[in-house]
Amino acid sequence: MVAIEATQSIGGAVAVRGKNGEDGSGGKGRYGGDGWQEAAGGRRVPQRAYVTGMSMGLGAVLMFFVALVSAYIVRKGMPGSGWVALPALPRILWLNTLVLIASSGALVRARKRFRSGDEVGFRRWWKAATICGVLFLAGQIVAWKELAASGVYLATNASSSFFYLFTAAHGLHLAGGIVALVWVLTRPTGRLSPRTATEVAAMYWHSMDVLWVFLFSLLMLAR
Amino acid sequence: MSLETEISVRTQVARQHAAAGGPRGFVRRYIFSTDHKIIGIQYYFLALVAVLTGVVLSILMRLHLAWPSLHLPFVAGGIMTPEQYESLLTMHGTLMVFFVLTTAPQGGFGNYFLPIQIGAPDMAFPRLNMLSFWITFASFVCMLSAFFVPGGAPISGWTAYAPLSALGQVTGPGEGLGQTIWLVSIGLFCMATLLGALNFISTTIDMRAPGMSLFRMPLTVWAWFVTAILALLSFAVLLAAVVMLLLDRTAGTSFFVPAATVVSEQLERHSGGSPLLWEHLFWFFGHPEVYIAILPGMGVTSHLLSTFSRKPVFGYKAMVWATCAIGLLGFVVWGHHMFVSGMSPYSAFAFSLLTLSIAVPSAIKTFNWLGTLWGGKLRFTTAMLFALGFVSIFVTGGLSGLFLAQPAVDNMLHATYYVVAHFHLIMGVAALFAVFAATYFWFPKMFGRMMSERLGKLHFWFTFVGAYLIFFPMHFVGLAGGIRRYADFTAVAYLSGLQPLQRFITWMVFATAAGQLFFLWNFCWSLRRGQKAPANPWSATTLEWITASPPAHDNFAGDYPRVYRGPYEYSVPGAAEDFVMQDSLPAEKGAGQG
């Protein structure tokens, strides 16, 4: 017998999860028990599919940035490349990086509160993480403006092209993350349980955070 | 409430949902549908339109090659210019590679049959699936619109090599707006394919029916699964390359344009990029793309040879590992497309060795196909004939690959028709044979009616003989030095002797294209007038054949299967029939569905 219990109400949705399982997929292995969520429309999608889907999506994002970064390394290392390093990077990037790391920290806290059933605390920390994300993006735009003010544009030279390309591509992906964070707070009832929703949104957010730290280190250390 | 009661209550609830038959209303049901079966059919028809367009383009090219001074009524200016020829060539390649060979085997049949074959009610993310198709559709419309903009379609080939593709109108007609549209379209296509791929992977990992272990999956599912992984990893790289090329064209960056590039006696204002960088990024995608086109065909062939030999697949696990090995090796051989790019002979040697090693899993596959056929009770249905044709063409096209994999030989043959013959046979014709085989095999399931076997066999022989007569002579055109992408062989003295052979090839193209009318007629006629199909017309074993033809909205009408057996239990000793369905209970051999 699989016990299904409504644990808490987040964003108006009812959280459904198996007693034995972490993620609602049931705890009796793949073939035992009922690992399926019976949701609207009679469709059956196990919650772990969303985690798999997000992992795969992150795999694609990773490959996208691997392509950009390897292009950077190849272009920089080309014999006779005429590579001109950027002047000192805008110092606000350091602040932005701290803000983004703080945002990940807030998200970890939010999920901890979620697990202990503290909805108010969850929402507070989740909002904090979202606001930090928005601040980071605003800070990136400030960095762009600073660079542009010193006469460094997208097409100025190869290093500036890559700088704008990395930050823009990362910024777009992060903006998608902000949409996801807001969506978790406001979304209507769906087939995705709140627990899974917070999990996949956090997976994405932390990955974008790590990605930025990597890109920033690359831009700093391999100018 | 006991477990049994709860399950039966749940089953009843599910049956009620299934009886409701999914969404009502034409638009929700057939246009913006989230049903993987409808989406599969949408992909299939998109590929059908694309393949017809692509064939028309190739006929125009062959007409021009055979009779270069022929007046063509639908060509602006009467006689085709070399630039017009190149734009046909570009669009033929693009439509065929992206919108036919990537969409039909994977988006079409994969979408329709992967969920059913693993016993799932739908894909893991049905709305994402719908989004994938409609982005692909937008990409297709965008691509076709390139024909109608000022300057026309791009001329840089389906590989869009920089700097030709990076500098705009100055490098030729079609390199202005046409090339930009091409890039936007391919960017959209990348996103659609990435979404589709992550859906396929999640579905295979998490949506399998109870008992459907990985090694009970049909080889078709394995092929779609590995293909999806390849697509996920390679299209992301193409997307990055496309973004950079778009920036080079529109924002003045110099990722792919070298310094001091002079076009039409004009110095381009770009600073020191690398055209080779584009080639590396493109072929890092481009080589896996070849396997994205062919792996589903290998899966279908294995599936059909077993079914129509009434024998289990010979060496099932070896087939699975060979599929994975081909997928893995596909990522480390892209350099063999660039032997003549001035790459270091040491790199070329490494790429060559890796490329040749693909012959090992390919040979395992071929050996196992022959092993499956050996001693079988062969049934020569049209689907079987096309599967056998696949094996033949795969071997023929693969052998010339061994020559081209060696840098010394490739240096001579690289830009010739030898390469054209090679990749058309192995990638184009072989994959299309698998698509035809899959169509004749699964049409009854998809549309509830049988196709005509008589017309089908006519279609097979026209296509099989025709394909060989078109592409086999092309090897000799190549060996004689016939350069690919040349619009007019009579303009070059040493090539004009090849003109009779060129005309022969063109005549064969006409005949083979005409042979496809049998298919189109058969397809349309059978849709309306074909004999009603039973649930399992081929006495096959996998889960799609326990469903109605066509299946219910949730595939199994609420009666979800439990799997007890491997996918190819044919001619099991002691069984009542010569096939045992995957969901048959182990205790009651051949007693129908569990």
Encoded tokens for B328:
């893995």
Question: Which residues on B lie below 8 Å from A154 (Cβ)?
Answer: 247, 251-253
Shortest CA gap A117–chain B (Å): 28
Angle separating helix axes A48-77 and B219-250, nearest 10 degrees: 40
CB contact under 8 A, A71 and B281: yes
Encoded tokens for B310:
């009434």
Mean pLDDT estimate for chain A: 82
* Mutation target vs A (from B201, B203, B232, B253; most A CBs, 10 A cutoff): B253
Tens digit of each residue's pLDDT (9 = 90 or more) over B524-575: 999 999 999 999 999 999 999 999 999 999 899 888 999 999 999 999 998 8
Question: Which residues on B lie below 8 Å from A78 (Cβ)?
Answer: 272, 274
Contact B243, B250 (CB under 8 A): no
Q: In B194-344, at which residue ranges do the beta strands (DSSP E only) sit?
A: 262-263, 266-267
Distance CA B186, CA B142 (A): 9
Size of the A and B interface in Cβ pairs below 8 Å: 136
The pLDDT of residue B458: 97
Question: Which residues on B lie below 8 Å from A68 (Cβ)?
Answer: 240, 244
Shortest CA gap A82–chain B (Å): 7
Does the pLDDT value for residue A22 go beyond 60?
A: no
Residue linked to tokens 């869009």? B160
CB contact under 8 A, A158 and B17: no
Closest residue to A53, CB basis, from B16, B124, B255:
B124
Q: How far apart are the first and last CA of chain A?
A: 60
Average pLDDT over residues A141-149: 95
Interface check for B232 against chain A (CB to CB < 8 A): the answer is yes
Shortest CA gap A9–chain B (Å): 24
Residue linked to tokens 């390093």? A85
Q: How far apart are the first and last CA of chain B?
A: 24
Give one DSSP letter per residue of B552-586, joined into a string.
BTTBSTT------S-S--BS-TT-SSSB--TTS-S
Burial of residue B250, with CB atoms counted within 10 A of its CB: 0-12 exposed, 13-18 middle, 19 or more buried: exposed
Question: Which residues on A lie below 8 Å from B274 (Cβ)?
Answer: 74-75, 78
Contact B365, B319 (CB under 8 A): yes
The pLDDT of residue A87: 79
Closest residue to A60, CB basis, from B6, B122, B194:
B194
Mean pLDDT estimate for chain B: 93
CA atoms within 13 A of residue B70's CA, in its CB half-sphere: 16
CB contact under 8 A, A43 and B281: no
Q: Tell me the residue type at B371.
A: G
The pLDDT of residue B4: 54
CB contact under 8 A, A63 and B244: no
Question: Which residues on A lie below 8 Å from B1 (Cβ)?
Answer: 1
Nearest to B53 by CA among B105, B107, B104, B99: B99
CB contact under 8 A, B205 and A49: yes
What value, to the nearest 5°, has the Cα angle with vertex B520 and ends B514 and B522?
115
Q: How far is CA B510 from CA B33, B58, B365, B470, in A?
A: 38, 10, 33, 10
Interface check for B198 against chain A (CB to CB < 8 A): the answer is yes
Contact B88, B60 (CB under 8 A): yes
Contact B47, B100 (CB under 8 A): yes
Closest residue to B237, CB basis, from A41, A63, A74:
A63
What value, to the nearest 5°, has the Cα angle with vertex B503 and ends B499 and B504?
115
* Mutation target vs B (from A23, A25, A43; most B CBs, 10 A cutoff): A43
> Which helix (H) or strand (E) element contains residue B465?
helix B453-479
Closest residue to B253, CB basis, from A57, A68, A155:
A155
Q: Tell me the residue type at A89.
A: L
Question: Which residues on A lie below 8 Å from B240 (Cβ)?
Answer: 64-65, 67-68, 71
Tell how strand B262-263 and strand A13-18 pair up. Answer: unpaired
Contact B451, B529 (CB under 8 A): no
Confidence of residue A21 (pLDDT cuts 50, 70, 90): very low
The pLDDT of residue A189: 58
Tens digit of each residue's pLDDT (9 = 90 or more) over B407-431: 999 999 999 999 999 999 999 999 9
Chain A residue closest in CA terms to B554:
A43
Question: Which residues on A lie below 8 Å from B217 (Cβ)?
Answer: none
- Please name the residues between 248 and 267 in chain B that touch chain A, using a CB distance below 8 Å: 251-255, 259
Nearest to A45 by CA among B143, B5, B202: B202
- β-partners of residue B570 are B579
Q: Tell me the residue type at B311.
A: K
* Mutation target vs A (from B217, B234, B255, B276; most A CBs, 10 A cutoff): B255
Question: Which residues on A lie below 8 Å from B193 (Cβ)?
Answer: none
The pLDDT of residue A24: 36
Contact B186, B242 (CB under 8 A): yes
The pLDDT of residue B417: 97
Question: Which residues on A lie below 8 Å from B272 (Cβ)?
Answer: 78, 81-82, 158
CB contact under 8 A, A67 and B124: no
- Please name the residues between 382 and 411 in chain B that touch chain A, using a CB distance below 8 Å: none
Q: How far is CA B23 from CA A133, A189, B447, in A?
A: 39, 19, 19
Interface check for B558 against chain A (CB to CB < 8 A): the answer is yes
Distance CA B534, CA B532 (A): 7
Question: How big is chain B, counted in residues?
Answer: 594
Question: Which residues on A lie below 8 Å from B122 (Cβ)?
Answer: 43
Shortest CA gap B477–chain A (Å): 37
Contact B482, B505 (CB under 8 A): no
| pLDDT per 10-residue tile (average), chain B, 594 residues | 53 53 77 94 98 96 93 80 95 98 97 97 94 98 96 95 92 94 98 97 96 97 98 98 96 90 84 91 97 97 98 97 97 96 94 96 97 96 98 96 95 95 96 98 97 97 98 96 93 92 97 97 96 96 96 90 95 92 75 44
Higher pLDDT, A152 or B1: A152
> Which helix (H) or strand (E) element contains residue A4?
strand A4-10
Closest residue to B251, CB basis, from A43, A67, A155:
A155
- Please name the residues between 4 and 23 in chain B that touch chain A, using a CB distance below 8 Å: 6-7, 10, 13-14, 16-18
Question: Which residues on B lie below 8 Å from A2 (Cβ)?
Answer: 3, 6
Interface check for B284 against chain A (CB to CB < 8 A): the answer is yes
Closest residue to B272, CB basis, from A43, A48, A158:
A158
Burial of residue A88, with CB atoms counted within 10 A of its CB: 0-12 exposed, 13-18 middle, 19 or more buried: exposed
Tens digit of each residue's pLDDT (9 = 90 or more) over A59-103: 999 999 999 999 999 999 888 777 888 878 899 999 999 999 999
Contacts of B83 (CB under 8 A, 6+ apart): B155, B172, B173, B174
Q: Tell me the residue type at B206.
A: D
> What does pTM read for this prediction?
0.91
Contact B82, B490 (CB under 8 A): no
Rounded to the nearest 5°, which phi and psi values hold at B294? -100, -30
CB contact under 8 A, A74 and B280: yes
The pLDDT of residue A194: 87
Average pLDDT over residues A40-56: 80
Question: Which residues on A lie below 8 Å from B271 (Cβ)?
Answer: 82, 157-158
Distance CA B275, CA B286 (A): 16
